[in-house]
Structure 1
Amino acid sequence: MASADLGAELECSVCLKISTDPVTPKCGHNVCQDCIGGVLDTQEGSGGYSCPECNQRFEKHPAHQENLKVPNIVAPKPDQEESGVLCTQCYHAPVPAVKSCLMCEASLCDNHLRVHSKAPEHVLCDPTTSLENRKCSVHKKILEYYCTEDSACICVSCCLIGGHKGHQVESLDEASEKKKKKLRNVLQKLMTEREETEKIVQSLEAHRRKVEGEAAGETERVIALFRDLRRRLEDLEKRVLSVISRREEQALLSDLILQLEVKKDEVSRKMRHIEELCNMTDPLTVLQESDTGDLCDTEDGDDEDRERHDELLHDGGDLDVAGISHTLHTGISDIMSGVIVQEGPDILLDENTASNYLQISDDRKSASKSDINQNRPETPERFQYYPQVLSSRSFSSEQHHWEVDVGGSDSWIVGMCYPSIERRGGQSEIGDNKKSWGLQRRWGCNQYSVTHDRKEIRVPGNISINIVRIELDYEAGRISFYELCDPIRLLHTFTTTFTEPLYAGLLASKPSSSSSSSEPLTRNKHAGIQASLAARLFQCSHNVLLIVLS
């Protein structure tokens, strides 16, 4: 009711339309500026003027003021202006349309909508400028149905006599709701996918920040490490150069040379005096010369100088390159020992590969031969024939080394192998195939050998190994075995091209009789040793140190 009253107040009494440019005469009514101008013009010469709304008389041409409030009320809303849909019946001014009639193909404002036909065939929709798209291009009728077979919007004629005759059809509302339902399902899936993607992005961002933090910390640590290395190397350089300078000064024998130079001058003086005496013709003068005894006494002095000369050349005449090298190597060794700055993760034994006759400790850091079947599940990875086990960690790049304590053990094998090594049969022993390399001590004799592909090379010499050092250079294709003693002794180096990651491997038997009570022998040819493995891992640049305690 209030809306209708407001519309009546805003209507021009001349054109009966809502005024978009109203003016107000003295009587206070709203009239279009063009309309009031036209009315007043027709009243000229009639003896007065009157308001077209209330007929109030004015003797003179009435002045009127522009109404500033009404245009703000009737002005089109921003969103309506942006839509560009205007009433097609308002010719005097652009008025926003509120509905469009599909039958009339016209857009209507509020005023024209009130007088529009209410017949069912006059279908109203939201304001649109694409009214032709709402009708069938063939029959020029309103699209009311949806053909599910052809996925097309059709009119009633299309259903009855057109190309869609006999097809399954639905109302537009029904088809629209079905499509909306599908779209909502797609929307829900997309929302779920977006949430999952956001979680992944957040996880990756967190990982990136973690990696950046670790990289920053590691960079700072490495920079500090190399700064310290440079300082130590500079100190070592100064110390070695000082040793070289001191040894050089000792080797130059400056004092002896000066003494011999003085003696040479003295000998030259005596020689000149003797020559003068020999050239004298007066025998009495020659015989009366008081220094002739000293001139002739030279033998003992010459022998003494020669002995001193030989002694000095033997003891201090060389630069002592070996001593300088020892100082240099000792200094470098001290520096490198300081590089071990952090403790890394332990190398653990992989129980999934351990033989059922090999006992693994709870912390997976030790192993020993057992006569009792451990009843572990039979898997393709488990060794079935020999009491062997592999490390859980593999090595596929860089340089590594570790040390194994085998003291007190009578028979053992330590080495490396590919993960594709056989787990059953007589050729599954470390060293008895192309996929493993090992150092072994045979039971019952103090004999050591290295093996690969069933080729055994005996280690020469009478040795008794307590600690084995294994070094791996993956890129260079080298596995080296050392006896860790003073000095360290290289036993053998295998050279090849690695094609798989490498695992540390161990074969353990029972302890020797000197280290434990006697045990019954088993069918295994290595019975009689106990090798306890394991583990603390330290990292030195790319090096790995594995200490094995028995």
Structure 2
Amino acid sequence: MAPYSHVTSTFLQRCSICLDVFTDPVSTPCGHNFCKSCISEHWDNNDNYQCPLCKKAFHPRPELYVNTFIKELVAQFRHEVQQEPNIYSSDQQAAKAGEVPCDVCSEPKLKALKSCLVCLTSYCQTHLEPHLTRSGLKRHQLIHPVENLEDRMCRKHEKPLELFCKTDHTCICNHCTYSDHKSHDVTLLKDQREEQKPKLKKTEAEIQQMIQERRLKIQEIQQSVFTALMESIQRGLDQLLEKIQEKQRSTEEQAEDFIKELEQEICELEMRSTEMEQLSGSEDHLHFVQRFTCVKAAPSMKTWTKVSVRPSYEGTVVRAVSELEKKLTEDMRKMFEAELKRLQQYEVDLTLDPDTAHSNLILSDDGKQVHDGGVKKNLPYKPQRFTVWPSILAKESFSSGRFYFEVQVKGKTYWDLGVVRESINRKGGSLPRPPDGFWTITLINGNQYYGCADSYVLLSVKSGPEKVGVFVDYEEGLVSFYDVGSSVLIYSFTGCCFSDKLRPYFCPWSNYGGENSAPLIITPVRH
């Protein structure tokens, strides 16, 4: 049996007002059939009661009764359409996630080819055919398939939104012009689009200007944070210098007191020395004996051997430097944390692409983890698969804007991370450096970190990160790597010229007999 009868598909089951399958079909005295709601609303909005088809007038307004025969035909028609099997032609595919499915197909639903703004239904190639061949349906407006077609219907009149009310700045249906929007300035949506289209470029330029202003504001804020940090450092240095100068003054005052005391004692000793010389030349025995006793009995002097003047700068400086270092470290930590939090708002959800995976790699079921299994699997040849490096790409690609993702590297002794051009050579012969389409950093031997620039750059990493954050600004040509645990910047590629799609790149390296068996794990950002 055919999916539905040609008789029931072309005769009596579609209303000539709404052009859809009858709902509560009624017959006028002239013998024409309409949906009860359609003809009732048509007469409610007109002063006379004419048949929309033959224009025969009725006085008074006739009573309308449901045509049970046509209602049964419509019920049979609907049942046959629901029972129609899906016909998968060679060029038709089942709708995937993110694609608009056909509203008529039973499961599995085919991918919709068009959506009808009159029927408010999306159709695959098979179910679209009536709209392409039948005169009544050819007048319907077809567009590229879209979801939520009910949003294109007037909620009050359940009719397509085809007009734009300039008075109220809203989209309306034809029936709205007889009620809420009567006497308003109304135009077709198509005409309104043509009127607004020239303004689009101006609006886009304004938006780009606003984006640029906000990027400049970000730079200004970042610069102000850095300036504040430098001012804090300068204040710390000024305070340290002030303490040193204060200690210097105290030491100088102490030295001056010692010198005065020493000079006074020298003066006394010189006087005694002079008296001793005079006494040594005296021939008067009595005078000699009497004066020698007085000179010998002179007051004892201070012992200066253990007296010294050593400024105690060391303890003061060490404490001050320690306090300054502590404050500087804390300020830097807060600045790095704020910067990383700002970048984390650009987080993207990544999934590893098994079609690009080297044959040694093992992926988790959720596509978030990868490690080297140490054994080469027999996989089908794919041009996008890595065959030399044990590497894999994410499914997602990016050709504009900013994006950020985090990868757990805990327990690994070797790894590569970053982004690459989608068109890189995956069969060998390329080095992981920017000219060959790689913007990555690497860990080898468990503690040696390198930036894979034109020549390898040894990175100063105090402690091995357990989680690495990767941030990319496509337009700015920036690729940055962060230690998520300490919020510290590890390395940045700047001034990059991107012209191709970028894809996140992961290389867990070889297993090395279990030494490097831990996986690379794409983890969600913890805010």
Same fold (TM over 0.5): no
Structure-1-length-normalised TM-score: 0.41
Bigger radius of gyration among the two? 1
Structure-2-length-normalised TM-score: 0.43
